[in-house]
Protein backbone atom coordinates (compact mmCIF):
# COMPACT_ATOMS: atom_id res chain seq x y z
CA UNK A 1 0.00 0.00 0.00
CA UNK A 2 1.47 3.32 -1.12
CA UNK A 3 0.74 6.62 0.63
CA UNK A 4 0.67 9.80 -1.47
CA UNK A 5 0.29 13.32 -0.10
CA UNK A 6 -1.97 15.51 -2.22
CA UNK A 7 -1.31 19.24 -2.21
CA UNK A 8 -3.87 20.52 -4.68
CA UNK A 9 -7.43 19.71 -5.68
CA UNK A 10 -6.15 19.07 -9.22
CA UNK A 11 -3.76 16.28 -8.12
CA UNK A 12 -4.29 12.70 -9.28
CA UNK A 13 -6.69 10.80 -7.00
CA UNK A 14 -8.17 13.97 -5.47
CA UNK A 15 -11.51 13.75 -7.28
CA UNK A 16 -11.99 10.09 -6.31
CA UNK A 17 -10.92 10.79 -2.71
CA UNK A 18 -13.31 13.75 -2.57
CA UNK A 19 -16.19 11.51 -3.64
CA UNK A 20 -15.37 9.12 -0.77
CA UNK A 21 -15.15 12.12 1.59
CA UNK A 22 -18.56 13.46 0.55
CA UNK A 23 -20.12 10.00 0.88
CA UNK A 24 -18.52 9.16 4.24
CA UNK A 25 -19.19 12.38 6.19
CA UNK A 26 -22.37 14.37 6.78
CA UNK A 27 -22.43 17.93 5.47
CA UNK A 28 -21.92 19.46 8.91
CA UNK A 29 -18.63 17.53 9.33
CA UNK A 30 -16.96 18.33 6.04
CA UNK A 31 -15.40 21.27 4.28
CA UNK A 32 -16.65 22.80 1.09
CA UNK A 33 -14.36 22.26 -1.89
CA UNK A 34 -13.13 25.90 -1.90
CA UNK A 35 -12.28 25.65 1.82
CA UNK A 36 -10.44 22.38 1.15
CA UNK A 37 -8.40 24.03 -1.60
CA UNK A 38 -7.33 26.70 0.92
CA UNK A 39 -6.45 24.29 3.74
CA UNK A 40 -4.28 22.22 1.38
CA UNK A 41 -1.90 25.20 1.28
CA UNK A 42 -1.13 24.85 4.99
CA UNK A 43 2.16 22.96 5.41
CA UNK A 44 0.93 21.32 8.64
CA UNK A 45 -2.03 19.75 6.85
CA UNK A 46 -1.75 16.40 5.09
CA UNK A 47 -4.24 15.03 2.59
CA UNK A 48 -2.83 11.52 2.25
CA UNK A 49 -4.40 8.95 -0.06
CA UNK A 50 -3.63 5.25 0.14
CA UNK A 51 -3.19 3.44 -3.14
CA UNK A 52 -2.87 -0.28 -3.82
CA UNK A 53 -2.21 -1.45 -7.38
CA UNK A 54 -3.29 1.98 -8.72
CA UNK A 55 -6.62 1.69 -6.86
CA UNK A 56 -7.64 4.28 -4.27
CA UNK A 57 -8.14 2.44 -0.99
CA UNK A 58 -8.92 5.43 1.21
CA UNK A 59 -7.49 8.54 2.78
CA UNK A 60 -6.34 10.03 6.03
CA UNK A 61 -6.52 13.81 6.39
CA UNK A 62 -4.44 15.00 9.32
CA UNK A 63 -2.58 17.87 10.93
CA UNK A 64 0.99 17.73 12.21
CA UNK A 65 0.65 20.07 15.19
CA UNK A 66 3.15 21.00 17.90
CA UNK A 67 2.12 18.35 20.42
CA UNK A 68 -0.27 16.07 18.55
CA UNK A 69 -1.05 14.53 15.22
CA UNK A 70 -4.72 15.31 14.74
CA UNK A 71 -6.75 13.09 12.40
CA UNK A 72 -9.22 15.42 10.73
CA UNK A 73 -10.97 12.86 8.51
CA UNK A 74 -10.36 9.21 7.70
CA UNK A 75 -12.28 6.85 5.40
CA UNK A 76 -11.91 3.89 3.10
CA UNK A 77 -13.58 3.38 -0.25
CA UNK A 78 -17.18 2.26 0.26
CA UNK A 79 -16.76 -1.00 -1.66
CA UNK A 80 -13.66 -1.88 0.40
CA UNK A 81 -15.09 -1.24 3.88
CA UNK A 82 -15.15 -4.01 6.49
CA UNK A 83 -12.16 -5.78 4.94
CA UNK A 84 -9.53 -4.70 7.50
CA UNK A 85 -8.08 -1.91 5.35
CA UNK A 86 -9.07 0.86 7.75
CA UNK A 87 -7.08 -0.82 10.48
CA UNK A 88 -4.08 -1.19 8.14
CA UNK A 89 -4.23 2.51 7.26
CA UNK A 90 -4.40 3.55 10.92
CA UNK A 91 -1.68 1.10 11.98
CA UNK A 92 0.59 2.58 9.30
CA UNK A 93 -0.27 6.09 10.50
CA UNK A 94 0.40 5.21 14.14
CA UNK A 95 3.76 3.65 13.29
CA UNK A 96 4.92 6.59 11.14
CA UNK A 97 5.22 9.10 13.96
CA UNK A 98 6.03 9.56 17.61
CA UNK A 99 3.55 12.27 18.66
CA UNK A 100 0.33 11.29 20.40
CA UNK A 101 -2.71 11.17 18.11
CA UNK A 102 -6.11 12.78 18.59
CA UNK A 103 -9.27 12.24 16.57
CA UNK A 104 -12.93 13.12 16.96
CA UNK A 105 -15.93 10.81 17.07
CA UNK A 106 -19.63 11.46 17.22
CA UNK A 107 -21.39 10.88 20.53
CA UNK A 108 -22.35 7.20 20.95
CA UNK A 109 -26.04 7.88 20.35
CA UNK A 110 -26.47 5.44 17.46
CA UNK A 111 -25.34 1.93 16.63
CA UNK A 112 -22.96 3.13 13.90
CA UNK A 113 -21.37 5.74 16.20
CA UNK A 114 -20.92 3.13 18.92
CA UNK A 115 -19.37 0.70 16.38
CA UNK A 116 -16.96 3.41 15.19
CA UNK A 117 -15.78 4.07 18.76
CA UNK A 118 -15.24 0.33 19.31
CA UNK A 119 -13.25 0.14 16.04
CA UNK A 120 -10.84 2.82 17.26
CA UNK A 121 -10.63 1.22 20.72
CA UNK A 122 -9.61 -2.13 19.17
CA UNK A 123 -6.69 -0.31 17.53
CA UNK A 124 -5.65 1.17 20.88
CA UNK A 125 -7.33 4.58 20.97
CA UNK A 126 -8.76 5.73 24.29
CA UNK A 127 -12.14 7.46 24.62
CA UNK A 128 -11.91 10.72 26.55
CA UNK A 129 -15.16 11.65 28.25
CA UNK A 130 -14.50 15.38 28.48
CA UNK A 131 -16.86 17.94 26.98
CA UNK A 132 -15.64 18.77 23.50
CA UNK A 133 -17.16 21.12 20.97
CA UNK A 134 -15.89 22.16 17.56
CA UNK A 135 -16.71 25.36 15.79
CA UNK A 136 -18.91 24.82 12.74
CA UNK A 137 -16.93 23.82 9.67
CA UNK A 138 -19.33 25.84 7.52
CA UNK A 139 -20.69 29.27 8.38
CA UNK A 140 -24.22 29.35 9.69
CA UNK A 141 -24.13 25.89 11.24
CA UNK A 142 -24.15 25.17 14.98
CA UNK A 143 -21.02 23.91 16.78
CA UNK A 144 -20.62 20.13 16.87
CA UNK A 145 -20.72 18.15 20.10
CA UNK A 146 -18.15 15.37 19.78
CA UNK A 147 -15.77 13.27 21.84
CA UNK A 148 -12.02 13.07 21.48
CA UNK A 149 -10.20 9.79 21.25
CA UNK A 150 -6.45 9.68 21.82
CA UNK A 151 -3.57 7.33 21.22
CA UNK A 152 -1.74 5.91 23.07
CA UNK A 153 -3.06 7.41 26.34
CA UNK A 154 -6.11 9.16 27.73
CA UNK A 155 -5.76 12.94 27.85
CA UNK A 156 -6.97 15.19 30.65
CA UNK A 157 -9.71 17.81 30.52
CA UNK A 158 -6.92 20.40 30.68
CA UNK A 159 -5.22 18.80 27.66
CA UNK A 160 -8.51 19.08 25.76
CA UNK A 161 -8.82 22.75 26.77
CA UNK A 162 -5.27 23.47 25.57
CA UNK A 163 -5.88 21.59 22.30
CA UNK A 164 -8.98 23.70 21.66
CA UNK A 165 -7.23 26.97 22.50
CA UNK A 166 -4.03 26.30 20.54
CA UNK A 167 -5.18 24.12 17.66
CA UNK A 168 -8.75 25.08 16.78
CA UNK A 169 -7.65 28.47 15.39
CA UNK A 170 -5.34 26.61 12.98
CA UNK A 171 -7.68 23.75 12.08
CA UNK A 172 -10.82 25.85 11.64
CA UNK A 173 -9.40 28.99 10.05
CA UNK A 174 -11.13 30.14 6.87
Q: Which residues pair with 64 in a beta bridge?
A: 69
Give the pLDDT score at 174.
57
User: What pLDDT is stored for residue 136 in this prediction?
Assistant: 87
> Could you give the number of structural domains in the chain?
1
Q: Is the dihedral of CA 153, 40, 25, 157 positive or negative?
A: positive
Task: Spell out, as residue ranges, where the chain has pLDDT lower than 70.
Answer: 174
- Predicted pLDDT at 172: 84
Predicted TM-score (pTM) above 0.75: yes
156-165 confidence digits (pLDDT tens):
999 999 999 9
Q: What is the CATH number of the domain that holds 162?
A: 3.40.630.30
Whole-number pLDDT of residue 83: 84
d(CA 157, CA 92): 28
pLDDT of residue 138: 81
Query: What range does the domain containing 47 cover?
Result: 2-171
Instruction: Return the pLDDT at 167.
Output: 93
Amino acid sequence: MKQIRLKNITDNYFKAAWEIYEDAFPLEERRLLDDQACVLKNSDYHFDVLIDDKQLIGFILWWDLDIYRYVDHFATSKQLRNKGLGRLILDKFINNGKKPIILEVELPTSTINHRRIKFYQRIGFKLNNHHYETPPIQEGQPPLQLLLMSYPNIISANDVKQFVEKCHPIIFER
